Amino acid sequence: MIKQIASAILAGALGILLGWLSQYSTVSQYRAEASELRQELLQERSNSLALRTRVSALTAQHRASKEDVEHALQENPGWSGTAVPPAVADSLCKHGNC
């Protein structure tokens, strides 16, 4: 009878140990995956910040260019009312949006 109880206790302990080892392995895998995802997230945040900074700079540059064009048109009303020659328009379209 004592041998049966000892065997049952040993089998139970072994089962608990195997279950714990299985859980430990799963937790280790999840921990590694979480670490990898955390690094990817940090990289994406860095990329996003760089893009936002670049967009802000380009927006400021666009505003300045637009103000320069508006000022030039106001300073030259006779020229601003005429058609742009096709060759000039084609050249400008290569550098901007048409």
Question: Residue 8 is encoded by which pair of tokens?
Answer: 């049952």
Residue 96 has pLDDT above 80, yes or no: no
- Name which of 72, 41, 11, 36 is nearest 28 in CA terms: 36
Cα–Cα distance between 51 and 54 in angstroms, integer?
Answer: 5
Residue 61 has pLDDT above 90, yes or no: yes
- Model's pTM, two decimal places? 0.53
Domain ranges of the chain: 2-93
Count of H-run helices and E-run strands, the chain? 3, 0
pLDDT of residue 82: 83
- Name which of 78, 80, 60, 58 is nearest 70 in CA terms: 80
pLDDT of residue 35: 97
